[in-house]
Amino acid sequence: MFRHLVLIVAIGLNTEVHGSNNFDGPALYQITEPVTHAECPSWDGRNNILYYVDVHAGKMFSYDYTNKEITSITLEGAVSPVVQSKSDPDLFIVGLDRSIVAVKWNREDGNYTSKTLATVSDDHPDCNMNDGKADKEGRIWYGTMDQDADTVNHPNRGKLFRITRDDVSTPEEIISPVNVSNGMAWNKANDKFYYIDSPTQQIAEYDYDNENGEISNRRVAFELKDHDLNASPDGMTIDVDDNLWVALYGGGSVIKVNPTTGELLDRFPIPAESVTSVMWGGPDLDILFVTTSRIGLSDDQIMKQPGAGSVFALTKLGTSGLPVFEADIIDNI
């Protein structure tokens, strides 16, 4: 199934146009110019700012929802993901190559300082950090993958790590091995953890012990092949109704899934073949921000999907997301 959308290809989320178009269904806005490989959107409700990255360019961006201003810094390495810190809205915990790095970014003058907290996967030096989030208690869950995503010749090189205040320099392996550690989400009751290892084409569900940050009892909550979805599940988020929203890399769309029943509830086309991730944001957490990529596309393919690599905003979806958890592993650098 594909939901019909009103596509407004204009840089910026123009609420005046949106408010006057009188369409009842969802609308899609292009809100940034394309980059090569946009990923890992994260919403900071303290300042109404969306953060995202251009992975291989090492760029970290901020999109100010209020004034539509975009600023960026360039880090030395492949950057992914970015998680805000509880102690300071200018402090971020960032994946950089296969290291976990604290970055203090002064968006007023564009300067930043950084400090490497840990480096993982010494046994697989060709791995990079990929996706990651903080949980309710501020622990960080970061996963890795082979930097070329070559899971045929280099299978099982990824891992999922958990980082706490007590083990900042020695993150604990929670799931190993995996291939491409990707999307994750916690349900509203915070007793389920959802996780994607992309090549499996599955969404896994685990029982979640919030007090100890432990997962158990894996089951398959959603199987893409059961719904003829020939794509890789990538980034993922969850809404207030505990439905999952999943980016389909190579599938040109975002899907809405009921993980309890395994139902495919809806599918929303995105004008880019490679959809990388999703994140709820906006003042009411009712805008689904969608990142995309143009990496590996030919000139002809880019002509057909000129918005590939942009960040899009899906609106009027009839639901909203949960607040983003913030990292609580360090106070400053």
Residues marked active site are found at 234
Say if residue 328 carries a ligand binding annotation.
no
Report the C-alpha gap between 173 and 68 in whole angstroms: 39
Say if residue 14 carries a ligand binding annotation.
no
Say if residue 39 carries a ligand binding annotation.
yes
Say if residue 234 carries a ligand binding annotation.
yes
Say if residue 258 carries a ligand binding annotation.
no
Residues in contact with 122: Cβ distance below 8 Å, sequence separation at least 6, in sequence order: none
Report the C-alpha gap between 111 and 53 in whole angstroms: 17
Q: Are 100 and 116 in contact (CB under 8 A)?
A: yes
Binding residues: 39, 130, 148, 182, 234
Residues annotated within the binding site for substrate are 130, 148
Binding-site residue positions for a divalent metal cation: 39, 182, 234
